[in-house]
């Protein structure tokens, strides 16, 4: 069993203290985007994931929610993360989120410190800091006859807000688990900005694993719990089949749960079934796709939601990437 060094213990207590304080004190933040392909790159929902793949890795994902309905959310996220030195890892995440006439751009820098524990296990502690820009598209409120902008929209303000996140991430050869809080400080735009900002921090709990079936097939089950302790929480349960370490295909079931909310069940927009696939085009390139089918009557007039993702390993030509990181 690996012995935890005294310096590592100090860092453990520091990060644990930050998470405890953030859980006690109520915070406000923009609701984090929802992705069906969250298992392919955990850095979007947990800063402690930075450097998990042991090499520098670039990734992008685009999601269009409820296609066919004007003004529904669409999100683009870009990230690069990797190792700095022994134990230290860094990541950069950019997010563009659009809902109707409002949009936000966030620029975050992640730092994760990873230590070895147990036999073959790793535990990392992550913090993220950056800025979020909330904007309003005034061009959507131009009167076609006069060419003038609506007076109320004219007064709308674009604002900058700080952003902070924290998380824990544990992984072994065939198992991982993570907990994170996205949005540690107040991040709510004032009423004059016209922003659609939801309150309360977002809490994420994830876990998953790898079950070898034979030489060619592996089962990759995983689950995600997301809540802001105010609105209906969502629970995702997923299963992918990895074929020859090249192609992963499977699905996901998402369910809205009313544990912390008094929202009527028939108004919920959470339930969905997803088809998910990811292919290793080359040893360095991963391409992913997902399509969500809505199961809610209130969204019966909408098409599903779709996602595309692209990942790239920045590995030197002479360096063999030995240990595949499926998640």
Q: 137 is written with which tokens? A: 């598209």
Are the beta carbons of 47 and 167 closer than 8 angstroms?
A: yes
Closest CA to 47 of 81, 14, 13: 81
Judged on CB neighbours under 10 Å (0-12, 13-18, 19+), 144 is exposed
In a domain, 266, yes or no: no
- Please state the φ and ψ torsions of residue 200, each to the nearest 5 degrees: 85, 140
For the ranges 23-32, 48-57, 147-156, the lowest mean pLDDT is seen at 23-32
Closest CA to 254 of 289, 288, 296: 296
Judged on CB neighbours under 10 Å (0-12, 13-18, 19+), 146 is exposed
Are the beta carbons of 247 and 218 closer than 8 angstroms?
A: no
In a domain, 162, yes or no: yes
Q: 296 is written with which tokens? A: 């809610």
Are the beta carbons of 48 and 168 closer than 8 angstroms?
A: yes
> CA torsion, points 304, 260, 208, 168, in degrees to nearest 10?
120
Q: 93 is written with which tokens? A: 């995440």
Q: Which residues touch 143 (CB under 8 Å, ≥6 apart)?
A: 149, 150
Please say if the pLDDT value at position 212 is more than 70: yes
Please say if the pLDDT value at position 30 is more than 50: no
In a domain, 301, yes or no: no
Closest CA to 291 of 44, 64, 33: 64
How open is the CA angle 193-195-201, to the nearest 5 degrees? 120
DSSP letter, residue 21: H
Alpha-helical regions (H) of 69-179: 151-154
Are the beta carbons of 273 and 295 closer than 8 angstroms?
A: yes
In a domain, 170, yes or no: yes
Segments forming the whole domain that contains residue 287? 6-202+283-294+308-314
In a domain, 207, yes or no: no
Please say if the pLDDT value at position 86 is more than 60: yes
In a domain, 326, yes or no: no
How open is the CA angle 171-177-181, to the nearest 5 degrees? 125
Check residue 50 and give its pLDDT: 95
Condensed to tens digits (0 to 9), the pLDDT of residues 244-286 reads: 999 999 999 998 877 655 555 544 556 889 999 999 999 899 9
Please say if the pLDDT value at position 211 is more than 50: yes
Residue 36 and residue 275: Cα distance in Å, rounded?
9
Q: 54 is written with which tokens? A: 């042991």
pLDDT band at 307 (very low <50, low <70, confident <90, very high): very high
In a domain, 191, yes or no: yes
Closest CA to 41 of 75, 8, 77: 77
In a domain, 144, yes or no: yes
CATH of the domain at 290: 2.40.160
Condensed to tens digits (0 to 9), the pLDDT of residues 114-170 reads: 999 888 899 999 999 999 888 877 666 666 666 666 666 666 677 888 888 999 999
Q: What is the pTM of this model?
A: 0.82
Residue 42 and residue 29: Cα distance in Å, rounded?
19
Are the beta carbons of 136 and 194 closer than 8 angstroms?
A: yes
User: In sequence order, what are the beta bridge partners of 279?
Assistant: 247, 287
Count of structural domains, the chain:
1
**How much of the chain is in helix, strand and coil states, percent to nearest 5?**
15, 50, 35
Please say if the pLDDT value at position 320 is more than 70: no
């Amino acid at each position: 069993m690996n012995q935890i060094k005294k310096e590592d213990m100090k860092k453990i207590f520091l990060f644990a203290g930050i998470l405890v304080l953030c859980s006690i004190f109520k915070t406000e933040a923009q609701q984090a985007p929802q992705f069906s392909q969250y298992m392919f790159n955990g850095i979007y929902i947990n800063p402690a994931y930075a450097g998990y793949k042991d090499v520098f890795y670039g990734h992008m994902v685009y999601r269009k929610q409820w296609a066919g309905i004007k003004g529904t959310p669409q999100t683009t996220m870009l990230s690069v993360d990797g190792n700095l030195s022994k134990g230290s890892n860094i990541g950069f995440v950019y997010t563009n989120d659009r809902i109707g006439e409002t949009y936000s751009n966030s620029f975050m820098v992640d730092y994760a410190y990873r230590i070895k524990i147990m036999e073959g296990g790793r535990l990392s502690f992550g913090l993220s800091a950056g800025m979020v820009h909330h904007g309003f598209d005034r061009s959507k409120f131009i009167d076609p006859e006069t060419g003038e902008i609506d007076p109320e929209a004219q007064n709308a303000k674009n604002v900058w807000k700080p952003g902070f996140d924290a998380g824990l991430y544990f992984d072994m050869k065939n198992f991982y688990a993570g907990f994170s809080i996205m949005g540690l400080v107040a991040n709510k735009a004032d009423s004059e900005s016209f922003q659609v900002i939801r309150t309360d921090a977002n809490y994420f709990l994830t876990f998953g694993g790898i079950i070898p079936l034979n030489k060619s097939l592996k089962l990759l089950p995983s689950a995600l719990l997301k809540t802001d302790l105010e609105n209906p929480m969502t629970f995702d349960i997923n299963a992918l089949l990895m074929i020859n370490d090249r192609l992963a295909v499977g699905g996901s079931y998402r369910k809205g749960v009313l544990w912390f909310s008094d929202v009527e069940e028939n108004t919920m927009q959470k339930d969905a079934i997803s088809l998910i696939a990811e292919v290793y085009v080359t040893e360095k390139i991963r391409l992913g796709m997902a399509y969500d089918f809505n199961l809610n009557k209130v969204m019966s007039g909408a098409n599903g939601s779709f996602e595309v993702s692209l990942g790239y390993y920045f590995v030197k030509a002479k360096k063999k990437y030995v240990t595949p990181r499926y998640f």
